Amino acid sequence: MNAALVAIALKSIALLAAACLVSLLIRRASAAVQHLVWTAAFAGLLALPLLNASLPSLHIRSADRMLAPGATFRADAIAGARQLAPVRSTPSTPAKTSRAWPDALAILWLAGASVGCARLLLACAAVARARANSEPADSRELASLARELGIGARVRLYHSGIASAPMTAGLFRPAIFLPLAAPEWSAEKRRSVLLHELAHIRRGDIATQIFARFAVHLYWWNPLAWYGWRQFLTTRERAADDAVLAAGSSPAEYASHLLEIARSARPAPAFAAIGMAQPSQLESRLAAILDSAISRKPPGRFLLVAIFTAGAGLIAPLAAIEAQDPTPPSDVETTIRLASSQNNFEMLDRAADAFVKNRQYDPARKLLEASLEVRGKIAGTHSDAYSEGLLKLGDLEWDHYKGRNASDDYARAIALGEGPQTAQALLRTGIFHFHELPTAENYIQRAILTGKGDVYAESLAWMAEVRAAQGDSADAESLFLRAQSAVSKNSAAAALIEEMYAAALAKQDREGEARAMLTAASDYRQKHVESLSPGAANIEAKSLQNSGVHPPTVIQKVNPEYSQEARALKIAGTVVLGVIVGADGTAAEVTLKRSLGFGLDEQACAAISQWKFNPATQDGAPVPVKATIEVNFRLM
């Protein structure tokens, strides 16, 4: 949550800074056009949290290439007997929690926004009460002016003590409130005031004021939001003034009327209504009214569409941009000492994540072990926080260390309490013990009972494998169908379930159905491998068939690991990858030419991405070339 709030905060600053820049560039445009820019900016601020959560992260990758066969290399992954780690259990106790300063800042932000929004709602209620307690006034003149301005909605007119100056309110039932002294005004003053308030209604200023004020409350800590709010109010009032002058009112007389009204004006109720004459805006408005050189032209439909289209073109990619991962710290021990002195396990977790993304698993494990110690110190070894640390360590062991210690970490986490957060640990423990069907069945059944989403779907598929191994093919097929309907589409879990089901169908000589499932799973695996592959510079890779190109040679090879799923199901075969061996001797732009599935394609990509080569050469100079790598997965 804190990371998301930080991302939204930084993006809101960038959006408001862009609005300030645009406002500066168009300072000679009419007030209506300037107000439109700030309206678009506040609309973007409200949309930012939703878009930040819903849009996929924006990553920049070089163009895909079709790789022709060139140099061919081979690697082997061999799965041997599994050594089970000892299981240590600890009793479960109620969780203790710890508060770090980022949590306090997040709570402060949300509390401030809640208070501001509550004040706005109370102000709306106050205006509604004032309207209910006021008697409608003669509105024949108002109706005539409304028709002249093309306003089809019925507008009510009230003389009320709530209004020390004219104001407009009402989102769905617009109304104009005039002071009790309004009947004594001259006809020209009354006409100018009504034209000004009707201009707000025609422009939809009530709605834009409410959502802009809501945006300001949401980003109350940001000085740029308050600066934008002042510009929003000033340009809106100037736009309404321009509408009065466009209707034929004398600038000098209108300025005189506005000055008289401002002398007795009080603020509108917490911005739930639009007051005509706020003293803080008076000087700039009077100067604009009397300046004959100022543009007063309202924006046309084309400009309206252009501004909001440009705003959408800015906010969408801005919301989708994902912050770059921090560079892993060079000194793991220093990081551990610093985080431990601050009791900050989140710092250790973030550093571990960065190392994992750089395929440096040993320092990542060391950091997670230190994180577990900090969690135990501040929350206790029976807490939810400590359980979460065990799960993180277990996941790292499962994904990158053959699962030799994952079973231990998962068992300790499960002993602290079973629930949705430990369902994956239950499932993976069952997979690890799949060669012992009664034990596997027990863990997988518990995962089904507690799991949600894709973990639940995968648990159903693994229970289907248990039933198939027990000879109950009918129950196995029923479980596979339930798993297919429960899993997220186009996900790793969906691909695994399709592969498992296809293998079961193939054993029943239902090859046609199996091939259709494998095709869908292979499509996902291919896209996933490409997303995991390191990118390459936008260069033209050569083929070894080109004259004078000497092939690369491997100087450092990393053999892939077996995935735990493939090990449990005894999957063997060959994965074929296409790569570009760069002039720097690294493998990049990995593409999947032949899929084996069950997580083995991704394991092959992760290993090949760590290979080092003496690069190919042409005329003595290193050049990038296309190559093919075959990865054989064998069981002993």
What is the average per-residue pLDDT within 492-502?
92
Distance CA 266, CA 280 (A): 11
What is the average per-residue pLDDT within 369-393?
90
Task: Name the residue among 351, 356, 304, 362 with its Cα closest to residue 328.
Answer: 351
Residue 404 pLDDT class (50, 70, 90 cuts): low
Residue 106 contacts residue 5 (beta carbons within 8 Å): yes
What type of residue sits at position 636? M
Mapping DSSP to helix (H, G, I), strand (E, B) and coil, where does residue 116 land? Answer: helix
**What backbone torsions phi and psi does residue 73 show, to the nearest 5 degrees?**
-120, 165
Distance CA 207, CA 127 (A): 15
Q: Which of 102-106, 189-193, 297-301 has the highest mean pLDDT?
A: 189-193
pLDDT of 327 over the 50 cut: no
**What backbone torsions phi and psi does residue 577 show, to the nearest 5 degrees?**
-120, 145
Reported as type and span, the H/E element at residue 554 is strand 553-556
Indicate if the alpha-carbon torsion angle 15, 16, 21, 25 is positive or negative.
positive
> What global pTM score does this model have?
0.50
Mind listing the domains of the chain with CATH numbers?
A: 103-317 (no CATH), 326-417 (1.25.40.10), 447-528 (1.25.40), 533-635 (3.30.2420.10)
Which residue's entry shows tokens 């104001």?
167
* DSSP letter (8 states) at residue 533: S
Indicate if the alpha-carbon torsion angle 197, 200, 204, 208 is positive or negative.
negative
Which tens digit of pLDDT belongs to each residue from 224-255? 999 999 999 999 999 999 998 988 889 999 88
Lowest-confidence pick of 69-73, 144-148, 385-389: 69-73
Residue 536 pLDDT class (50, 70, 90 cuts): low
Residue 265 contacts residue 275 (beta carbons within 8 Å): yes
Which residue's entry shows tokens 């100037």?
238
Which tens digit of pLDDT belongs to each residue from 88-111? 333 333 333 334 566 677 788 889
DSSP per-residue string spanning 212-241: HHHHHHHTTT-HHHHHHHHHHHHHHHHHHH
Residue 402 pLDDT class (50, 70, 90 cuts): low
Residue 278 contacts residue 209 (beta carbons within 8 Å): no
Indicate if the alpha-carbon torsion angle 75, 405, 382, 350 is positive or negative.
negative
Task: Name the residue among 599, 595, 603 with its Cα closest to residue 565.
Answer: 599
Which tens digit of pLDDT belongs to each residue from 549-560? 888 988 888 888
Query: Structure tokens of 202?
Result: 């025609």
Distance CA 409, CA 393 (A): 7
* DSSP letter (8 states) at residue 98: -
pLDDT of 259 over the 70 cut: yes
What is the average per-residue pLDDT within 269-276?
66
What is the average per-residue pLDDT within 465-487?
93
The pLDDT value recorded for residue 459 is 93
Reported as type and span, the H/E element at residue 486 is helix 473-486
Mapping DSSP to helix (H, G, I), strand (E, B) and coil, where does residue 296 land? Answer: coil
What is the average per-residue pLDDT within 334-362?
86
